[in-house]
Structure 1
Amino acid sequence: MRTSVSRAVRLGACAATAALVTAGLATPASAASDTLWIQAPSELTVLAAPAGGPKPAATTLALGLYHDNERYRVTDGRLTVDVSGLAGVADVTWPANCAPAGTTAVCTVPEIPTSATDQVVLGLHAADGAAAGASGRVTYSAKATSNGGGLTAPGGSETAVTIGSGPDLVLTGPAPVEGARPGSTVPVPFTVVNRGNEAAQGVRVTLYATRGLDLGTVAPQCTAAPAGEGPVAPVTKVDCAFPDVVAPGGSFALPAPLRATVARYALNERVDITVEPGDGATDLAPETNGAVAAVAAVNTADFAVRGTRVSGAAGETVTATLTFRNRGPAWIANLGSGDPVGLVDFVVPQGATVTGVPENCSGRTLSGGWYENGPAGAPRYVCNLPIWVAEKQTVTFPFQLRIDTAGPRATGAITLKPPYGAGPLPFDPNTANNQANLVLTPAA
């Protein structure tokens, strides 16, 4: 079931999103303080019935209402569902909280929550004679009561329904593992069930294991290779092709349970798992083909910055190199988010001007705001570290400094910071080496 958003809500590594409809409000007092939303998928595939065979299980169409402001109680929700666009495409089974009249139904939600939940769950079957590829739509509108006034969601929300035929492999991944010890082995179980109406003629399994996990030999049908760039490969990719035929309702499993050995340098690790039907078939709902197995190891990483001393006469340009080092024992990676593992904040010493800025560094005002006058000449800089660093890895940022005033020694501050927010890095037990100085002295 594919979904889109009109107001995005991120739910995680294998995220599910819902189409949300903004609401107009009946009174000015309410309009500025709360909003009603309709939760509905933007797309839905309903299984075609095989010729002469039994009908597949109903496809679920899950709907709901919610609002924003926790200070307000919103009640008496009325979600109107119009299925006239499904004529000849799909038949609908209504739940007990819906009152159908012809091709529409008013569904009641007595108490509207402030988070998206499934409150109205319809069942859809392909209509008799509806072939794969037939399509239609369901449209929605909604009203509710808040603080004595009315909330009304405007029209425009709809679900496109398509009749499909084929395999539908649904992958269920393992629960996160916490507190894994370096050197230990942890299970990485997952299940695969074919919820489609056609057999999967073979199964392809792809695993991406981060550097701190060793999957060993998964199966003879698998090949493994390093993936990614850098001093060491951050990820190992394992590709597997199995000839297993998975009938509708049937399941697939690896020849042996998947296990991972936790490396001495592991910290926050993951295995990304995807499955696909073989023989070039297209999965009916590829968004259910992936999962992430998270493994958190008990470990730390000592991040440190090192300053430097430079000297020169007035008018000279010198190179001042800021140095970052991960002293380990753990490597650190933000492969999921793509965020840098940290920031190096550099305040330029008085009496000098930056004329050459390293890659991944940007200018700031002295108070930390954006510097609008170009990369050079800023009084302060913030440098992004890579999205992953191995244990014992060093990263340098060479700045070109023009010495404007060859006076007494001046000092610039170098500070290691998290990519967002303030405070120490959560994995770094030693904050004493998170600060250093760049000292500028006149030439002898």
Structure 2
Amino acid sequence: MRSVHVTRGRLLRGLTALVVGTATVGMAAGPAVAQDDPGWVNAWLEDVTVGGPGAPGRTVPLTLTSTGATQPRVTVDLTGLAGVVTATFPDFCVTEGTSVTCPMPPTAVDEFGTLTGTVPVVFRAASGATDGATGTFTYTALGEQTEPSTQQATITVRSGPDLLDLVDGSVSGVAVGDSLPVPVAVVNAGDQPVVDLRLTMSFPVGLIPASYRNCRYGTNTSLATVVVCTVRGTFAPGQRHKLRQKLATTVGPATLGSKRITQFVEPLAGAGPLPRGVKLTHREAEQGLRLRPVGNPLDVIPAGVTGAGGGLYLRSVQGSFDVVAQGASVTGAVGDTVRVTVGLRNEGPGVPDATLSGGGVGSFLFVPPAGTTVVGNPSSCWLNGDEESAGDTPTTWYCGGPGGVFPAGLTHTAAFDLRIDSLSGTPGEVQQYERYPRVDDNPGNDVAPVTVG
């Protein structure tokens, strides 16, 4: 990276090289187009907040996209940042005073005819910038014959501590019974030190974190283990801290499907409210959770490190489980109204968990026996189609599940009132609505009959 100052002669030579060097990339930005179609070029950079003078710089991606355009590029006017922040660009950009021109980056990726690349821009508070000062970053995307498109982003200076979480990864091949080392790492991107912090983590159902004496533990409504730790120490600007031995987490028998372990860091002074609806208690533990400094202080925060939240994604833990359909058998005469209770039971040990996607589990379909009419149904069930539709397709009812998780040992049922119109019909049935997160280990009991006789 380098600062934005070159002579006019160097700019002209650089622009000539830019045109020659990017012509091939620009022309390959998409499929062949008509000669009178100039294509298009777009650019995007979000609003940015940086620490006060003395804080590490922040790397922010300026994204450039193009289809069919010749020599796609972005030109930046830095006039609106004077006295507030400085901006540093990569060497492939050409600068002249407060104007910077960047071609489509050499690392751009062509996907389905659209070229996308990112220009990493490092913003840093200018010397003497005050808390709350703002500047304007103006950028224009264009090609050789495209209409220029100009946008602005606001850059704000905030003095004070600014804790960021450094964990953002994924692991695969995890199996029940494994001990999973979960990283914990933070950096202070502000211009003032943090004295003590709060670390809040959430481990989805099935994952069992190690115990620390300076942490409290509880369970939320999705059966996730919530951990809140008070970590003492001074966290200087730019200094990375991590849990050196990582956090040992047992992959228990209830673990099933994909999971995301989340973590959130904040200065203890002024920390937000504790997680709602979770009763937190201490556990017996010999060790305390300590975050130790690692490496030299960062001069620049890398791109992608943007917030106080982070996490580790676990890909498709196989687990084992058996969801069993619960049918019914009742007796009655023609004209009677009888009640049938149908549903599902999770025999475990795995727990279907859709909290990562925000969905529900444990839903089922109910087909009443032929010769009966539903005259009463619970509010959690409704017709999966039109009861009066013509044809031989049986009437089917959909019943929602118990929520984001389907705990082992839970039976989820719904009661229907059926009027018996005849006793010569075929049995009905109940079955899972979907096999989530996969077909279970005993698919032979996924469908059960419902009879009236």
Measured against the shorter chain, the TM-score band is 0.7 to 0.9
Q: Is the CA contact (8 Å cut-off) linking 2:56 and 2:238 kept in structure 1?
A: no
Q: Is the CA contact (8 Å cut-off) linking 1:221 and 1:241 kept in structure 2?
A: yes
Task: Compute the displacement of 1:305 (Å).
Answer: 1.1
Task: Tell me if 1:280 matches 2:280.
Answer: no
Please list the CA deviations of residues 124-154 of structure 1 after superposition, one character each: whole Å capped at 9, or x if unmatched: 2223332110112223332348xxxx66574
**1:412 and 1:78, CA in 2 relative to 1: closer, same or farther beyond 3 A?**
same
Q: Which amino acid aligns with 2:309?
A: G
| Residue aligning to 2:418 | 401
Task: Tell me if 1:132 matches 2:125.
Answer: no
Q: Is the CA contact (8 Å cut-off) linking 1:48 and 1:163 kept in structure 2?
A: yes
2:319 is aligned, of 288, 291, 299, to: 299
**1:330 and 1:315, CA in 2 relative to 1: closer, same or farther beyond 3 A?**
same
Task: Compute the displacement of 1:199 (Å).
Answer: 0.4
| Residue aligning to 1:120 | 119
| Residue aligning to 1:85 | 80
The secondary structure found in structure 2 opposite 1:328 is coil
Task: Tell me if 1:266 matches 2:255.
Answer: yes
Q: Is the CA contact (8 Å cut-off) linking 2:77 and 2:138 kept in structure 1?
A: yes
Task: Compute the displacement of 1:84 (Å).
Answer: 3.2
Q: How many pairs were matched up?
A: 379
Q: Whole-Å Cα distance in 2 between the matches of residues 432 and 66 of structure 1?
A: 51
**1:412 and 1:323, CA in 2 relative to 1: closer, same or farther beyond 3 A?**
same
Identity %: 29
| Residue aligning to 1:203 | 197
1:173 is aligned, of 146, 153, 167, to: 167
**TM-score (normalised: structure 1):** 0.74
| Residue aligning to 2:400 | 384
Task: Tell me if 1:415 matches 2:431.
Answer: yes
The secondary structure found in structure 1 opposite 2:264 is strand
Q: Whole-Å Cα distance in 2 between the matches of residues 341 and 330 of structure 1?
A: 13
The secondary structure found in structure 2 opposite 1:205 is strand
Q: Whole-Å Cα distance in 1 between the matches of residues 309 and 436 of structure 2?
A: 34
| Residue aligning to 1:226 | 219
| Residue aligning to 2:45 | 40
| Residue aligning to 2:22 | none
Q: Whole-Å Cα distance in 1 between the matches of residues 244 and 93 of structure 2?
A: 46
1:428 is aligned, of 424, 431, 440, to: 440
Q: Whole-Å Cα distance in 2 between the matches of residues 297 and 98 of structure 1?
A: 45
**1:344 and 1:169, CA in 2 relative to 1: closer, same or farther beyond 3 A?**
same
Q: Which amino acid aligns with 2:183?
A: P
Task: Tell me if 1:332 matches 2:352.
Answer: yes
Task: Compute the displacement of 1:172 (Å).
Answer: 2.4
Q: Whole-Å Cα distance in 2 between the matches of residues 239 and 340 of structure 1?
A: 27
Q: Whole-Å Cα distance in 2 between the matches of residues 333 and 29 of structure 1?
A: 53
Task: Compute the displacement of 1:28 (Å).
Answer: 12
Q: Is the CA contact (8 Å cut-off) linking 2:185 and 2:243 kept in structure 1?
A: no
Task: Compute the displacement of 1:394 (Å).
Answer: 1.1
Please list the CA deviations of residues 1-22 of structure 1 after superposition, one character each: whole Å capped at 9, or x if unmatched: xxxxxxxxxxxxxxxxxxxxxx
Q: Whole-Å Cα distance in 1 between the matches of residues 86 and 253 of structure 2?
A: 57
The secondary structure found in structure 1 opposite 2:443 is coil
**1:281 and 1:236, CA in 2 relative to 1: closer, same or farther beyond 3 A?**
closer
Task: Compute the displacement of 1:297 (Å).
Answer: 4.2
The secondary structure found in structure 2 opposite 1:119 is strand
Q: Whole-Å Cα distance in 1 between the matches of residues 192 and 360 of structure 2?
A: 44
**1:27 and 1:361, CA in 2 relative to 1: closer, same or farther beyond 3 A?**
farther
The secondary structure found in structure 2 opposite 1:406 is coil
The secondary structure found in structure 2 opposite 1:409 is coil
| Residue aligning to 1:372 | none
Task: Compute the displacement of 1:254 (Å).
Answer: 4.4
Q: Which amino acid aligns with 2:432?
A: L
| Residue aligning to 1:439 | 451
Q: Whole-Å Cα distance in 2 between the matches of residues 179 and 28 of structure 1?
A: 51
Q: Is the CA contact (8 Å cut-off) linking 1:132 and 1:163 kept in structure 2?
A: yes
**1:321 and 1:340, CA in 2 relative to 1: closer, same or farther beyond 3 A?**
same
The secondary structure found in structure 2 opposite 1:432 is helix
The secondary structure found in structure 2 opposite 1:76 is coil
Question: Aligned runs of 1:177-188 on 2, under 5 Å?
Answer: 177-188=171-182
Task: Compute the displacement of 1:245 (Å).
Answer: 0.8
**1:120 and 1:310, CA in 2 relative to 1: closer, same or farther beyond 3 A?**
same
Task: Tell me if 1:351 matches 2:371.
Answer: yes
**1:392 and 1:152, CA in 2 relative to 1: closer, same or farther beyond 3 A?**
farther
Q: Whole-Å Cα distance in 2 between the matches of residues 153 and 439 of structure 1?
A: 70
**1:58 and 1:365, CA in 2 relative to 1: closer, same or farther beyond 3 A?**
same
Q: Whole-Å Cα distance in 1 between the matches of residues 452 and 70 of structure 2?
A: 67
- 173-182 vs 316-325, which moves further: 173-182
Q: Is the CA contact (8 Å cut-off) linking 1:179 and 1:298 kept in structure 2?
A: no
- 356-365 vs 159-168, which moves further: 356-365
Please list the CA deviations of residues 316-335 of structure 1 after superposition, one character each: whole Å capped at 9, or x if unmatched: 33222222011222122122
**1:38 and 1:359, CA in 2 relative to 1: closer, same or farther beyond 3 A?**
farther
**1:59 and 1:173, CA in 2 relative to 1: closer, same or farther beyond 3 A?**
closer
**1:309 and 1:402, CA in 2 relative to 1: closer, same or farther beyond 3 A?**
same
Q: Is the CA contact (8 Å cut-off) linking 1:65 and 1:112 kept in structure 2?
A: no
Please list the CA deviations of residues 172-193 of structure 1 after superposition, one character each: whole Å capped at 9, or x if unmatched: 2374343444344221122222
Q: Is the CA contact (8 Å cut-off) linking 1:62 and 1:118 kept in structure 2?
A: no
| Residue aligning to 1:316 | 336
**1:141 and 1:351, CA in 2 relative to 1: closer, same or farther beyond 3 A?**
farther
Unpaired stretches in structure 2, ≥5 consecutive residues: 1-32, 273-300
**1:251 and 1:431, CA in 2 relative to 1: closer, same or farther beyond 3 A?**
same
The secondary structure found in structure 2 opposite 1:85 is helix
Please list the CA deviations of residues 239-287 of structure 1 after superposition, one character each: whole Å capped at 9, or x if unmatched: 11122111112233448641112223322444321111222279x9995
Q: Which amino acid aligns with 1:279?
A: A
The secondary structure found in structure 2 opposite 1:182 is coil
